[in-house]
Amino acid sequence: MTQKSRTTGSNTTTSKTGAESSATTFASLDPRSGDVIAEYPVADQAAVDEAVDRARIAARWWDAQGFRGRREWLLEFKKAVAQDAVALATLVSRETGKPYGDAFLEVMLAIEHLDWAAKNAKKVLRARKVPSGIASFNQAATLEYKALGVVGVIGPWNYPVYTPMGSISYALAAGNAIVFKPSELTPGVGKWLEEKWNSIAPTQPVLQVVTGLGETGSALTRAGVDKIAFTGSGPTARKVMAVCAESLTPLVAECGGKDAMIVAADADIDKAVDFAAFGAFGNAGQTCAGVERIYVVESVYQEFLDKLTAIVKRAEPGGSDESTYGPMTLPRQIDIVRSHIEDALASGGTAVVGGAESVGERIIEPVILTDVPETSRAVCEETFGPTVVVNKVRDLDEAVDRANGTSYGLGASVFIGNKAKGRELAERLRNGMVSVNSVLGFAGIPSLPFGGIGESGFGRIHGADGLREFSRPKSVTVERFSSPLRLMSLERPERDLNLSAKMLKFMHGR
């Protein structure tokens, strides 16, 4: 795929699109045409360090606002973003190539999360008394959650507002200042968010954005921040983690997925098909928690497949806002998607819609693959494109076994009439999130933590856990009165130890 030059300057480095790049500026491109949208500076280590220094000063002011003050600021920020949501969605659509409606949905969801984080931080993180237990009954125990300081956020391009804001909103609400490195494919969206913050608090750089290529992200991991919130691929997460290990910088890693959908015999098939099509092909399949594998029990397999085939054949990918989905945002993914289709077919799978020829220069037509061996790359590795594998299973036990068969563990969905059975299956799925009778149901509920296990990463954003992820617990005890037993003394009386031994037996030895 040909791309216009992305950068200007003298020292050449490699950009994500494989185009020539330099150390001074780079271009954001329209994935529909390859045209340059705007130029952005490449922030080097010095520029990133300066941003982190500024953030550290701003963090003191932000922390001093307290929960109530931050809530007011964040709700102001939310209002400013919501009032200008059309402009933000238009920019998202421009930089990612996704239809405007999809971009707007993403902005709406991000605003919901910002609202929840602003309104719930105090309840989740404020200081509270906790029980001190019988052995320490003379102590008053208090637990509170303190801000970490400066959080470095490294984001992907597929949901350039929703995904990083899932970290930024919760980290801000917990009292941290942010330095955000957006993907090199969506720098404009990052800058937009920074400018929106600056429009309400121009002298307090609590949310700063540094633009650049992978090296800028790497510089952020070396800049002495108090935590890194990384969203992206597993291979990059490993690099980030290796750098974080040098300074014991904590990390939350939200990585890719290979999410399965399970369809039971008593499922509402029309509904399952509708959600399957959206989950697999929406955003051109470039969704970390999108549907990639579908396991359908044999009694309803053919009906499901026929209906899914019919709906997918009506899809019209393209570059307009009316298109079902847009072009591939990251050109390099196109070859990976093609190789997964080819591998599935070479290993015995069948293409019932499309095939390797569906992979175009910018747009990939939808592909449905069936009877694909579980060892195929199309089943085991993340396919960031509009393809889905539909495999027949004997029963729900086999479906769960196969769903649990990859090294990923992000989300999953179950379509089933018996909701109690659906909950049971959800429990048995080895991952972070499950939706019963919908797809991605968990993503729009701010009080639910979001994240995965295994190759899908660790740690959580969203919800109370997301707020705590960007805080450090602080434990304080205040002695209410002197303990009648002097156990913590170099001159411990023997009588006190004997008494304690009797108490231990009475309390725990019965």
The count of C-alpha atoms lying within 13 angstroms of the C-alpha of 158, restricted to the half-sphere facing its C-beta, is 20
- Confirm whether 194 is a catalytic residue: no
Place of tokens 């939350």: 252
The smaller minimum CB distance to ligand NDP, of residues 317 and 459, is found at: 459
Give me 62's structure tokens: 């932000």
Number of other CB atoms surrounding residue 90 within 10 Å? 15
- What is the rounded CA–CA span in Å between residue 466 and residue 208? 20
Instruction: Tell me the closest approach of the beta carbon of residue 232 to ligand NDP, in angstroms.
Output: 2
The smaller minimum CB distance to ligand NDP, of residues 184 and 343, is found at: 184
- What is the rounded CA–CA span in Å between residue 166 and residue 154? 12
Number of other CB atoms surrounding residue 71 within 10 Å? 18
- What is the rounded CA–CA span in Å between residue 327 and residue 227? 34
Q: Could you tell me which of 228, 118, 111 has the C-alpha nearest to residue 173?
A: 118
- What is the rounded CA–CA span in Å between residue 492 and residue 103? 68
Instruction: Tell me the closest approach of the beta carbon of residue 391 to ligand NDP, in angstroms.
Output: 21
Instruction: Tell me the closest approach of the beta carbon of residue 292 to ligand NDP, in angstroms.
Output: 10
Give me 245's structure tokens: 């290990």
Catalytic one of 254, 292, 365, 382: 254
- Per CB under 6 A, residues contacting ligand NDP are 16, 154-159, 163, 181, 183-185, 213-214, 217-218, 221, 231-233, 236, 239-240, 254-257, 288, 330, 382, 384, 410
- What is the rounded CA–CA span in Å between residue 51 and residue 178? 9
- What is the rounded CA–CA span in Å between residue 369 and residue 320? 27
Number of other CB atoms surrounding residue 314 within 10 Å? 9
Residues with Cβ within 8 Å of 81's Cβ and at least 6 positions away in sequence, in order, are: 88, 107, 110, 111, 114, 193, 196
Instruction: Tell me the closest approach of the beta carbon of residue 376 to ligand NDP, in angstroms.
Output: 19
Residue 32, SS3 per DSSP:
coil
Give me 399's structure tokens: 């479906």
Residues with Cβ within 8 Å of 341's Cβ and at least 6 positions away in sequence, in order, are: 351, 355, 356, 358, 359, 367, 369, 378, 387
In terms of DSSP H, where are the helices of 151-212? 162-173, 187-200
Instruction: Tell me the closest approach of the beta carbon of residue 231 to ligand NDP, in angstroms.
Output: 5
Distance of CA 478 to the CA centre of its chain: 39
19 neighbors 6 (Cβ within 8 angstroms): yes
The smaller minimum CB distance to ligand NDP, of residues 252 and 276, is found at: 252
Number of other CB atoms surrounding residue 262 within 10 Å? 29
The smaller minimum CB distance to ligand NDP, of residues 29 and 396, is found at: 29
Instruction: Tell me the closest approach of the beta carbon of residue 220 to ligand NDP, in angstroms.
Output: 7
Active-site positions read 254
